[in-house]
Amino acid sequence: MVSLKKRKMKLNKSFQPIAKEAEEVYHNGIFFQFNISSIIKDINSNKLTIEKETIDIQHWFKEHGLDFGIITESHLQNVDVRLPIIQAEIRINKYEIIDGHHRIKRAYDDGLCYIESYKLKGEQLAEYLMSIEQYEAYIQYWNDKIDCYIEDMKRGYYM
């Protein structure tokens, strides 16, 4: 529990979005928008230090199902499954794909066993929000999720 408390974020009053517009954006719900273009740029330039994970595709689809949004069938033929997908910790210890839905679907369709991914912690995502309002709401959201997770652990839900 101590390590979870350390994961609470402090509001940076001088936060400014990296960019208010981006070529690629991940929408989480109706409010949060993460700048995928900047995440990819920072990963490629080694500015963003992230964990790497090899995903077992069959296992991933058993957990998440086949329906995860709009897949453009014509685009599937053009994706490069050698490029890692990006997962983000949207909820405490729960990761979702925020970039690479077409790649993992193509890998699944092609019968591949594994695909590489980058994993961003929830704390890392805050920097990539598209507005100050989203940033402030996200900090509150994240800290509330930490508090709830700690309470649930006390009740024995995560044993």
Residue 128 predicted with pLDDT over 90: yes
pTM flag (> 0.75): yes
What's the pLDDT tens digit per position in 73-122?
888 889 999 999 999 998 898 899 999 999 999 999 999 999 999 999 99
Cα–Cα distance measured from residue 88 to residue 120, given in angstroms and rounded to the nearest whole number: 5
Measured CA to CA, the distance from residue 83 to residue 74 in angstroms comes to 18
Instruction: Please list, in sequence order, all residues whose beta carbon lies within 8 angstroms of the beta carbon of residue 41, skipping any fewer than 6 positions away.
Output: 47
